[in-house]
Chain A
Amino acid sequence: MPRYLLHRIAQAAFTLFCVLTFAFVLGRATGKPAGLLLPDNATAAEVDALNGALGFNEPLHVQFGAFLANVLAGDFGQSYRQREPALDLVIERLPATFELAFWSFLLGLVLALAAALAIQLTGSRTLRSLFIWGGSLRQSVPDFFFALLAVLVFSVALGLLPSLGRMSPASLVLPVLTIATGQFVLYVRLMDAALSDQASQDYVRTAFAKGQSRARVLVSHMLPNALLPVLTMAGLNLGSLLGGTVVVEAVFAWPGLGQVLTDAVSQRDFPIVQAGLLVVALIFVTVNLAVDLLSAKVDPRVSLA
C-alpha cells in the first residue's frame, strides 16, 4: 500500500508539473505581453522597460523558476484586460461550474442506477437494449448539439424553460439534462455489467435459497458489491465531465469556468487561460488520485493489482 500510494502521488505531482511546464511554454510562446498592456502610443523604450519589470527579459530558465515560485504562491499575474489577479477571476467562476457538474453527475448516476435496477429486476433483455441503444444514440450527437435540440424543443417551441444564463433554478434544467444524458450510457453499461457479474456469485444463490425476494437480494446484497467499481469509474470520469461542461456552458451562456476561458482565449488574455488550465488540472488530478486511493482503501484487492 505505501508503495502504491507513493507511486500514485508522484505520478499526480508529475502530471501537474507537466501541465505547469506546458502552460509556461505556451505563455512564453505568446510573446512579451507589454505591447498588450500599454496604450497604443507607448514608445519602444516604455514597452521594453515594462517587459523588463515583468521579468520577460530574463533568461528562460530564470523565468521558469520565477513562474514556478509565483504559481506555488498562488500568483498567476494580472489579467491583461480586467487588471485583476487572474486566479481570482477564475476562482469566482468555480461555484457555477461546480453546481452544473455536481447536479449533472448526480442525475446521470441516479438515472443509470434506476435503469440498471429495472433491467436486473425484470430480467428483460429488451429493456437493456432499449437503455443502452438509447444512450448510445444520445452519445452519437455531441453535447452542444443535443443542447441546441433541447433549447429548440423546450425553449423555442414550448417556451417552458429558459435557454440562457443562470437566473433561476429553472435555468439549470437544460444544461444538467444535456450533460447527464450524455453520461448516462457509460454508467448504465458499467452498473449493468457489475450487477450481472455479481448475479452468478455464490452468495447470491445462497440468498435466493433462503427465500429472499429478488428485489431484496438485488438491493441489499448485490448492489453494495457492484457499486464500488462503478463509483471508481464514475469518479475517474468526473474529470472529463468537467471538460465537457466547458462546451455546454458556452451553449447556455452559463457564467462558469468554461465561459471565462473561452472569453480569455478570444481576447488573448493569457494569464486567465494559464490560471484556468492549472485550476482544472488540479481538480482533475486530485479527483483521480482521491478516487484511486479511496477504492484501494475500500477494496484491498485493488492495491494488489
Chain B
Amino acid sequence: MTQQLLPAGTQVPATAPTDPDIQGTPATPTPAKRKGRGTSPAFVIGSAMLGLVLLLAAVVPLLPGFDPFGQDLSAAMRAPFTDPDHLLGTDSLGRDLLSRLSLASAVTLGIAFAVVILNAVIGTTLGMAAGYFGGRLDSAVTTLADVNLAMPVVLLLIAVAAVTGPSATVTIVTLGLTYWVGYARVSRNLARSLRHRDFVLAPLTQGGGHGWVIRRHILPNVFSQTLIIGATDIATIVLIESSLEYLGLGVQPPVPSWGSMIFEGQKYLGSNPWLAILPGLAMFLTVAGAQFVSQRFTAEGTTGALLRKGRTA
C-alpha cells in the first residue's frame, strides 16, 4: 500500500542530545531551525483540518439527536442538508449519517492511535536494546526488521483475519505487530550513537544497571524522535486500517468505521454518492491534515527540505 520505503535514517535529525542529570552543560546548542516557521500556512491549515475531524468525533455525540444505530426506513437515503432532523442525511436503513460518521471517526482514530502506540512501544524497545547492547541482539533485531519489511504485510493481515475472524482487536494487534520498523531503526541508530557518550558511561562506572541507564539516559533522547515518527505514521496507519475495514476485516457491523462506511456507500454511488464521499472526506481531512502538520517536525516534509535546497539543472 502506501508503505514508503524511504532510505533508513532519513528521519534522524541532528538534534543535540539532552540529559536530565547534567546541569548547566554547554551541550551543543539546539539549532534554532524551527524559529519563524511555527505558524506556516500549511501548519495552520493542517491543524484546522485535524481540528474539524476531532470536533466531529468528540463533540457530535454531545448533540441532541445523536443516534448512530436507530433505523427509520421511512426516512432512508436522505441527501445531506435536506432534512433538519438528519443534517448530513441518512443511509439505506435510515440511520443518521452525521451520528454514524462521528462514531466511525472515533472508532477509526481510536484503532489507529492504539496501533501507533503499540508500534512505538515495540519498535523503540527493540531498537534501543539493539543499539545499546549491540552484538547478537543487534543483528537479530536488524534481521527481524529486514524480514518484516520484505513481507507482504497486508496479505499476512488478511490471512490472520481469515483464521481468527475479523474484529477490532485483531486489527490492532496485527497492525501493531507489523509497522514498528521505522521506530526500531531510528531508536537503534540513536542508542548506538549515544552508547559511548560520557553521560551514558559515567553512571555505568558508578554501578548503574543497564535498564536504568537506558530508561534514564537513552530513552529521553529517543523519545522526541518516536513522537515525530508516530505523528507521521498515524496517517499511514489510518489508510492501511481503512483498506482492511473496506475489505470487511475490521470492526463488524453495526459499528461503523470509515472504511466499512465507504464499502456500504459504494452500493449506492448512483443514487446517493454522499454515503461514500463523506467518510472519504473525513479520512482525507485526517491524512492530509496530519501531513501538513507533521511537515513542521520532519526535515523531509512533503515538499520541505527538497524544495528549500532544491537545485535545478
- On A, residues with C-beta under 8 Å from B are 11-12, 14-15, 18-19, 22-23, 26, 29-30, 119-121, 123, 125, 128-129, 132-133, 136-137, 139-145, 148-149, 151-152, 156, 182, 186, 189, 192-193, 195-196, 199-200, 204, 214, 217-218, 222, 233, 236-237, 239-240, 242-244, 246-247, 250-251, 261-262, 264-266, 268, 270, 273-274, 276-277, 280-281, 284-285, 288
Contacts and interface: CB of A to CB of B under 8 A. Distances in A.
A243 B303 contact: no
B162 A125 contact: no
Q: Secondary structure at chain B's binding surface: helix, strand, loop or mixed?
A: helix
B77 interface: no
Contacts of B246: 142, 144, 247, 250
A77 to B, nearest CB: 15
Contacts of A128: 303, 306-307, 310
5 contacts: A29-B164, A140-B287, A141-B287, A142-B1, A266-B248
A23 B4 contact: no
B280 interface: yes
Contacts of B262: 144-145, 148
A273 B152 contact: no
Contact of A195 (B150, B159, B277, B313): B313
Contacts of B228: none
B313 A123 contact: yes
B247 to A, nearest CB: 6
B304 to A, nearest CB: 10
Contacts of A123: 312-313
B92 interface: no
A199 B284 CA distance: 36
A299 B3 CA distance: 26
Nearest to A145: B280
A135 B147 CA distance: 29
Contacts of B270: 156
B200 interface: no
Given A11-B147, A29-B163, A136-B302, 14 more contacts: A11-B150, A120-B313, A125-B307, A136-B303, A142-B239, A143-B243, A145-B283, A148-B269, A151-B269, A193-B306, A233-B5, A244-B1, A247-B154, A265-B159
Interface string B225-246: 0000000000100010011001
Given A15-B150, A143-B243, A26 B287 contact: no
A25 to B, nearest CB: 9
A245 to B, nearest CB: 10
B32 interface: no
7 closest A-B pairs by beta carbon, nearest first, are: A140-B288, A123-B312, A265-B162, A140-B287, A145-B280, A243-B154, A136-B302
A137 B288 contact: yes
Contacts of B156: 19, 22, 277
Given A145-B280, A151-B269, A200 B150 contact: no
Contacts of B284: 140-141, 145
A26 B302 contact: no
A182 B239 CA distance: 12
B252 to A, nearest CB: 13
Contacts of A140: 235, 284, 287-288, 291
Contact of A15 (B151, B161, B242, B307): B151
B266 interface: yes
Contact of B249 (A23, A218, A265, A276): A265
B312 A262 contact: no
A189 B158 contact: no
Interface string B146-186: 11001111111011111110000000000000000000000
Contacts of B313: 120-121, 123, 195, 199, 204, 214, 217-218, 222
Given A11-B143, A199-B311, A262-B158, A142 B283 contact: yes
A27 to B, nearest CB: 8
A141 B155 contact: no
A246 B302 CA distance: 27
Interface string B1-18: 111110000000000000
Contacts of A119: 312
Nearest to A185: B302
Contacts of A280: 152, 155
B128 interface: no
A172 to B, nearest CB: 20
A155 B4 CA distance: 31
B273 interface: yes
A283 to B, nearest CB: 8
Nearest to A144: B246
A129 B242 CA distance: 28
B276 interface: yes
Given A125-B307, A236-B5, A148 B248 contact: no
Given A137-B288, A192-B306, A281-B151, A182 B2 contact: yes
A288 to B, nearest CB: 6
B159 A277 contact: yes
Contacts of A144: 242-243, 246, 259, 262
A284 B2 contact: no
Contacts of A270: 162-163
A136 B155 contact: no
B67 to A, nearest CB: 26
B72 to A, nearest CB: 26
A116 to B, nearest CB: 11
Contact of A262 (B143, B247, B266, B302): B247
